[in-house]
Amino acid sequence: MSQIGTDWRPDLSDASRIRQLQPRHAPYFNLVAYCRHIGVAVKSTDEAYWVARIRKRDGGYMQRQLFAARRGGEDYYSYDDAAAAAQAWFETKSVKEIAAPSYPVGSKRNLIICPVGETYSVGHALEEYIKWKRIAATRSHFETLISLINYYLVPMTSHITLEQFTGAHFQELAMHVLESTPRRGRRSLKQKKRSINELDDDELRKRKKTFNSLVSILRGAFQIAWDNGNLESDRPLRCLKRLPNVDRPRTIYLSRDECRRLISASGPDLKVLVRAALYSGCRIRELTALRVRDVLMGQKCIFISFPKGHRARHVFLPTEGTHFFESIAAGRHSGDVLFRKQNGRAWGGEYKDYFRAARDRANLPQLLTFHGLRHTYASQLIENGAPHAVVAAQLGHVDIRTVCSTYGHLTSSLREREVQRHFENIDGCGTKPQHAPTTTPLQQRLLPDPVVSWPRCNFSTYSGPLLGVLKPKCDF
């Protein structure tokens, strides 16, 4: 399937791309900023018009036709002309009165400060740290680091001279983080501070986890400053200590009956995405980034080329999952996005609203998120006896530690079943365990060859009733 005609957000700055767009009722839009759009309304193959659109405060939209982009098969006004006209319309008084506030496209990728001066401060160290992470970290992780640093570290620490950073500064930062309201997206903070005594155990655990992430950031920044010769003493590094904290294991995952209920309650678009997650255990970003070529036909696996931690991997599929993925990829262009909605659009953040609605219709726990399908996948494998190393490889973890800590509570039920299956009853009732060893007398099982088993050490101090078994004829 060609991308032309199905790409719902084409590059409108490319005149040749506009000429390839198919006529349709709705315009093709590009984001100028969130809540501000510029688009092309294609009436026919020879006629198209530039339009501007705003999102209103009440959640609706208002758009205005600007001027011709094409007429009679000839190009008229360019994207730059349309952008200037759209911006002028955005700034009119009547539009500003009803338009929702706009903000730049994408996440912030820079610190909110620009440290200056000859005195090397914590702000300078954080700037050097960000320069390195911009190269080394994945995009999503980098954006998370920027958000954490700007919200917590910049206001509290950026002005402090690095050499003068002490444990007192560190403790003040700890109290600030633990008592601050966590920031989520762009939502305003209604309550700035809450005493530690007012937090329940789960809230305090989450606050500590955030603080430990900040400790890791500061350690990295201070270490780079040390490596670059901007720190003469290691005291600032010694001040950084993680708070003892125990992550709560994942407990929300679905049974197979609940999975079927969720699929039945999902609309046609979401149903495909839910099945993909349950068959593969992939993260939502990994699924929405899949291309048709990533489904390896005949090999029973998919290739995850844009994972969370730069570690590309192959995810092997069950037979049912293999048929599912191959049926979606069959006959389509190799570079096309694998999962599109029925209107031709690729998935964005709207999957969250779709999922919440389906979850409520299926009467599933409110705490269940789409990421819970990944936990469901892993939990099903572990409960059915899959080795932790296999589960870790399927999920894309470096080793089994994450699997053990996240799903360790499931191991107890597996151990219980294994004990019941392999233990032979002492009273003689019931069946013997599978592959039961042949029972031999204790003396024979302990040491089949008394001669060669004698300790080969002149200073052996072994004593006890089994000494006669070890060497029956022993003269002292």
Residue 358 is predicted with a pLDDT of: 95
Residue 72 burial (CB count, 10 A): 8
Instruction: Give 423-435 pLDDT, tens digit per residue.
Output: 777 876 655 665 5
Q: How far apart are CA 18 and CA 70, in angstroms?
A: 9
pLDDT band for position 451 (cuts 50, 70, 90)? very low
On the question of pLDDT at 251 being above 90, the answer is no
Give Cα separations from 116 to 122, 123, 208 (angstroms): 11, 9, 32
**Residue-wise DSSP of 350-408:** THHHHHHHHHHHTT--TT--TTHHHHHHHHHHHHTT--HHHHHHHHT-SSSHHHHHHHH
Average pLDDT, stretch 365-388? 89
pLDDT band for position 3 (cuts 50, 70, 90)? very low
Q: What angle do CA 120, 122, 128 make, to 5 degrees?
A: 80
On the question of pLDDT at 468 being above 80, the answer is no
Residue 435 is predicted with a pLDDT of: 55
DSSP one-letter code for 471: -
Q: How far apart are CA 318 and CA 302, in angstroms?
A: 11
The tokens for 243 are: 């708070």
pLDDT band for position 194 (cuts 50, 70, 90)? confident
Q: How far apart are CA 121 and CA 160, in angstroms?
A: 5
Residue 198 is predicted with a pLDDT of: 85
Q: Which region holds residue 450: left if phi is over 0, alpha if psi is between -120 and 50, else beta?
A: alpha
What rounded mean pLDDT belongs to the chain? Answer: 82
Instruction: Give 26-46 pLDDT, tens digit per residue.
Output: 899 988 888 899 999 999 888
Calculate what percentage of the chain has a pLDDT beyond 90: 46
Q: How far apart are CA 373 and CA 394, in angstroms?
A: 14
Instruction: Give 209-231 pLDDT, tens digit per residue.
Output: 999 999 999 999 999 999 999 99
Of the chain, the end-to-end C-alpha distance in Å amounts to 90
- Of the ranges 1-15, 33-47, 188-202, the best mean pLDDT one: 33-47
Average pLDDT, stretch 233-253? 82
The H helix count followed by the E strand count for the chain is: 19, 8
Question: 44 — phi, psi (to 5°)?
Answer: -155, 180
- Between helix 372-383 and helix 388-395 the angle, nearest 10°, is 160
> Which domains, ranges and CATH numbers included, belong to the chain?
15-98 (3.30.160), 122-239 (1.10.150), 256-420 (1.10.443.10)
On the question of pLDDT at 241 being above 90, the answer is yes
- Higher-confidence residue of 414 and 132: namely 132
Q: How far apart are CA 453 and CA 455, in angstroms?
A: 6
- Chain centroid offset of residue 32 CA: 27
Tell me the three state secondary structure of residue 41.
Answer: strand
Residue 408 is predicted with a pLDDT of: 64
pLDDT band for position 190 (cuts 50, 70, 90)? low
Contact call for residues 399 and 407 (beta carbons, < 8 A): no
On the question of pLDDT at 355 being above 50, the answer is yes
On the question of pLDDT at 133 being above 70, the answer is yes
Instruction: Give 318-339 pLDDT, tens digit per residue.
Output: 999 999 999 999 999 988 999 9
Instruction: Give 273-315 pLDDT, tens digit per residue.
Output: 999 999 999 999 999 999 999 999 989 999 998 766 667 899 9
Residue 106 is predicted with a pLDDT of: 61
> Residue 219 forms beta bridges with which residues?
none
